[in-house]
Amino acid sequence: MINLPPAELLPEVLACGQVSGRDVDKFESVGLTELPATHVKPPLIAECPVNIECKLVSVQPIGDHDLFLGEVQIVHVSPEFLDDDGTIDPARLSTVVMMPGGFFELGEQL
């Protein structure tokens, strides 16, 4: 599952990153809402405008991290983030990304 959280969820994103789901119910601890997925076991996050259900293809060790390769099964997008043609309007998203140097909000098209 890949979720694209909006910038206003950064505190919840950081809190989820501090604990293991094996030890803590992350949804309960940070106040997020679970929605049922259609193709995979992990739930969607209602507060995320985009949820991408993926089937795990492989795990590749890369130094001290693992790279998870997945195959997209279905993409869920909240209707308010779609344009008149039914495609995602990136200008309506405020998605958070982690880059070297910290967290950033996606900006305008280049």
In a domain, residue 9? The reply is yes
- C-alpha to C-alpha distance for 68 and 107, rounded to whole angstroms: 26
- Can you give the pTM of this predicted structure? 0.86
Residue 67 forms part of a structural domain? yes
How does DSSP classify residue 43?
Answer: P
Q: What is the CATH number of the domain that holds 6?
A: 2.30.110.10
| Mean pLDDT calculated for residue range 73-84 | 95
- Write the Ramachandran bin of 62: left for phi over 0, alpha for psi from -120 to 50, otherwise beta: beta
Q: Phi-psi region for residue 31, left (φ > 0), alpha (ψ -120 to 50) or beta?
A: left
The domain of 67 spans 2-105
Task: Give a yes or no: residue 110 inside a domain.
Answer: no
Residue-wise pLDDT tens digits, 81-107: 999 999 998 888 888 888 888 888 876
Tens digits of per-residue pLDDT, 11-45? 999 999 899 999 999 999 999 999 999 999 999 99
Give me the number of domains the chain comprises. Answer: 1
Q: Is 32 domain-assigned?
A: yes
